[in-house]
Amino acid sequence: MKICVLVKEVPDAAVQKRIDPSTGRMDRNGEKNLNPYDTHAIEAAMQIREGGAVEVDEIVAVTMGPSTAIRALHKAVSLGADRSVHLSDDALAGSDVAATGYALAQTLKRESPDLVLLGQQSDDGECYTIGAVVADHLQMPSLTQVIQMDVEAGPPTQLRCERQAEYGYDTVQVELPAVISVGDAINEPRYPSLKAIMGAKKKPLDALAIGDVDIAADRVGESGSKVICGDFKAPPAKSAGEIIEDEDTNETVEKIVAWLDERKLI
Amino acid sequence: MSLHELSDEQREIRELAARFADEVIVPQAPAWDREHTFPKEVFAQLGELGLMGVCIPQELGGAGADFVSYILVMEQLSRGDAGVGTAIGVHIGAGQLPILAHGTAEQQERLVPPLAQGHELAAFALTESGSGSDAGALRTRADAAQRLTGTKQWITNGSHAHVFNVFARDDDDGRISAFLVRRGAPGFAVTREEEKMGQHSSSTADLVFEATPSERLGTPGAGMRIALSTLDGGRIGIAAQATGIAQAALDLAVGYAKERRAFGRAIGGFQAIQQKLADMQTEIEAARALTLRAARLKQAGRPHTVEGAQAKLFASAVARRQTGEAIQVLGGYGYTKEFPAERYYRDAKVTEIYEGTSEIQRLVIARALLGEAARES
Ligand SMILES: Cc1cc2nc3c(=O)[nH]c(=O)nc-3n(C[C@H](O)[C@H](O)[C@H](O)COP(=O)(O)OP(=O)(O)OC[C@H]3O[C@@H](n4cnc5c(N)ncnc54)[C@H](O)[C@@H]3O)c2cc1C
């Protein structure tokens, strides 16, 4: 079985995120890092490999992004991927979610994976949708926000997944191939060993342009994207909360109860 | 420091050490301090990750990263717990690196791999009760068959180490040489654990040698040169450790200044607190810059004695001063054991003492400035 893990380079969690009003895109000049959710997807792939229910021949990290995104791939490899694929082309700059999903799907077709894993959201765009778009193009079932995954050896190989929904949990059985996005509750990503960090640059990395994977230039990039961004506004300021100092706990409890009562919350 | 100054590998290694510090070390450090626990299992974990031999070549079981990576690791681990930093600094900087620099190929292949993989710990035994800064006054003796007799004091990792770099005076010509002793050798004993002001998670022990068999490290009579060149590099590690302790204190103080309220506002709203925090961060960045400069010189094989002394002198003073300032920002809470500020303060002080006191660092710097004029009495 071959697992492809979609990974993305995003602004580092420590960087204050900002939209550049002149371009309508996120300012990506600061420190960048591998999207934290994707590290859970890589870990999920590693746990399937180590679980032994199925034979995992290969774990391949796949990204679309500028030249700097190579760092995210190296990191993915240091966390366990065997090799990586980097789709990078000037024509892709400014792609929206639909265009990105199409481009990634075209790239994945070349790999014919049995399972595609990805983080449920990226730390920058936070749109939660890439998995579904990719699945649509690949004509595979898609599950999102999965927080538990058990493999049942086939044939056909199936996954029993628990997904976190707004109303509770769904348990879904899905036949492979499938595209599954995972939440951060699914596992605790391991530490990369120093050896893996030092060896990451030596693992194979395929650098691809749009022509290599049959991507139609008019379906990607700014011109191939239908989303138009503009008229940015800061979210309305939240009104300051009320702080109740805990001087006398009995009094504090009374105050809290009165506050809740006033709002008909209890 | 901007992360852009670092190579990809250095960034990843720093991030690994930072994550390990935050997830594994920080939650346990208060208990280690309280109960004087030497966190053996943490060193085993660090060994599995490759952090016990960061800058040791892969052929010898290390991770094969550079000296700068080791310095970045020292800062991050020390930010979590200074005692862990001390143990690693001695294990790598004063334990393994001198064997790499002065040991024979056979000694390296036999002794270094278990150390680099974290299965064994190393120690550096120079100081005695009567000789600290004046290390050349040491009295431990080596007879013609390289059997050592004498005592050593305040040896980091002493109670747990397997390999000891020991400095002793050759009986025949009175010159100081370096020797290697393995734990369990006849006549070797750990006699006492020191009670210290801080760094309770580190082991600081007294050792006794009674006609203890040893093997030579380096050529006869090269002991002081080996000791001093080891300390030249070791100081850069201590500078990184001091920077890490100071950073931990700053992080704590900043978090507290946002939360703690007085006179109807967060104390971070007072200029007096703002100025303090700004000075803290500026000094810490300066300490880090001096430390990285010295580390890069060492990495490049350039002279780094003065730069290392400057880094340690400055960073240790920053750590002592700024951990005190962190207590000040926390007020009375800073003086209690509810917060780690007082631990940082106790842990920081010794960075001005070991691997050469601040007075000795100034001596090193002044001698380079003044040459012979500095030596006239
Ligand atoms: C926690 C801890 C861990 C340690 N770990 C180790 C270890 O692993 N291995 C090891 O070998 N040692 C270790 N040491 C010993 C340490 O290196 C010495 O304490 C240090 O070198 C200072 O020596 P001293 O304590 O004898 O002070 P002294 O040398 O007696 O100095 C006393 C004072 O006089 C000053 N002074 C001395 N000479 C001069 C001079 N020429 N000019 C100006 N001022 C001077 C000093 O700066 C200091 O202020 C450790 C010590 C501690 C506290």
Are B281 and B360 found together in one domain? yes
pLDDT band at A197 (very low <50, low <70, confident <90, very high): very high
Tell which of B182, B200, B221 closes a domain: B221
- pLDDT value of position A87: 98
User: Taking CA atoms, what residue in B is nearest to A68?
Assistant: B8
- pLDDT value of position A243: 83
Mean pLDDT of A202-221: 96
Are B238 and B370 found together in one domain? yes
- pLDDT value of position A161: 97
- pLDDT value of position B78: 98
Shortest distance between the Cα of B20 and any Cα of chain A, in A, equals 8
Sign of CA dihedral B340, B346, B350, B352: positive
- pLDDT value of position A22: 78
Distance of CA B129 to the CA centre of its chain: 20
Helix (H) or strand (E) holding B193, with range, is strand B188-193
Are B230 and B333 found together in one domain? yes
- Going along chain A from its start, the domains and CATH numbers come out as 2-219 (3.40.50.620)
pLDDT band at A235 (very low <50, low <70, confident <90, very high): confident
pLDDT band at A244 (very low <50, low <70, confident <90, very high): confident
Q: Is A32 on the interface with B (CB under 8 A)?
A: no
Mapping DSSP to helix (H, G, I), strand (E, B) and coil, where does residue A110 land? coil
Are B128 and B102 found together in one domain? no
Q: What averages of pLDDT result for each successive group of 10 residues across chain B (377 residues)? A: 86 97 98 98 96 98 97 98 98 98 98 98 98 97 98 98 98 97 98 98 98 98 98 98 98 97 96 98 98 98 97 98 98 97 98 98 96 82
Nearest to B257 by CA among B241, B272, B244, B246: B272
CA separation for the pair B58, B112 (Å, rounded): 11
Q: How big is chain B, counted in residues?
A: 377
- pLDDT value of position A5: 98
Are B207 and B248 found together in one domain? no
Are B331 and B291 found together in one domain? yes
Ligand 1 pocket: which of B166, B226, B354 to mutate (most atoms <8 Å of CB)?
B354
CB contact under 8 Å between B49 and A201, yes or no, is: no
For residue A86, the cross-strand partners are: A63, A207
Between helices A36-51 and A70-78, what is the axis angle to 10°? 30
Tell which of B97, B116, B135 closes a domain: B116
With a cut of 80, say whether residue A185 has pLDDT above it.
yes
Residue % of chain A over a pLDDT of 90 = 74
How many domains would you assign to chain B?
3
B9: which chain A residues are within 8 Å (Cβ-Cβ)? 197-198, 200-201
- How many CA within 13 A on the CB side of residue A26? 18
User: Taking CA atoms, what residue in B is nearest to A193?
Assistant: B49
Ligand 1 pocket: which of B90, B127, B167, B375 to mutate (most atoms <8 Å of CB)?
B127
With a cut of 80, say whether residue A23 has pLDDT above it.
no
Q: Are B206 and B194 in contact (CB under 8 A)?
A: yes
- pLDDT value of position B153: 98
User: Taking CA atoms, what residue in A is nearest to B54?
Assistant: A194
Dump pLDDT digits (tens) for A147-175.
999 999 878 899 999 999 889 999 999 99
CA separation for the pair A252, A188 (Å, rounded): 38
Active site residue B355: yes
Tell which of B205, B221, B237 closes a domain: B221
CB contact under 8 Å between B50 and A193, yes or no, is: yes
- pLDDT value of position A127: 84
CA separation for the pair B80, B224 (Å, rounded): 33
Are B232 and B363 found together in one domain? yes
CA separation for the pair A254, B228 (Å, rounded): 67
Q: Is the CB of B231 under 6 A from ligand 1?
A: no
Locate B133 and state its tokens.
């800064």
Distances (CA, A) of A50 to A56, A158, A167, B287: 9, 17, 32, 44
Better pLDDT: A127 or A142: A142
Nearest protein CA to atom 38 of ligand 1, as residue: B133
The answer to ipTM > 0.90 is no
Mutation choice for A interface testing from B6, B49, B88, B247 by most A CBs within 10 A:
B49
With a cut of 80, say whether residue A25 has pLDDT above it.
no
Better pLDDT: A28 or A115: A115
Q: How big is chain A, counted in residues?
A: 266
List the CATH number of the domain containing B274.
1.20.140.10
CA separation for the pair A48, A46 (Å, rounded): 5
- How many CA within 13 A on the CB side of residue A29? 4
Dump pLDDT digits (tens) for A32-69.
899 999 999 999 999 999 999 999 999 999 999 999 99
Are B190 and B244 found together in one domain? no
- pLDDT value of position B163: 98
List the CATH number of the domain containing B66.
1.10.540.10
CB contact under 8 Å between A74 and B49, yes or no, is: no
Mean pLDDT of A76-86: 97
Q: Is the CB of B254 under 6 A from ligand 1?
A: no
Domain that holds residue B10: 3-116
CA separation for the pair A140, A177 (Å, rounded): 6
Are B250 and B312 found together in one domain? yes
Q: Are A61 and A40 in contact (CB under 8 A)?
A: no
With a cut of 90, say whether residue A92 has pLDDT above it.
yes
List the CATH number of the domain containing B211.
2.40.110.10
CA separation for the pair A5, B125 (Å, rounded): 50
pLDDT band at A29 (very low <50, low <70, confident <90, very high): confident
Are B198 and B290 found together in one domain? no
Are B215 and B229 found together in one domain? no
pTM of this structure = 0.92
- pLDDT value of position B368: 95
- pLDDT value of position B289: 97
Are B300 and B360 found together in one domain? yes
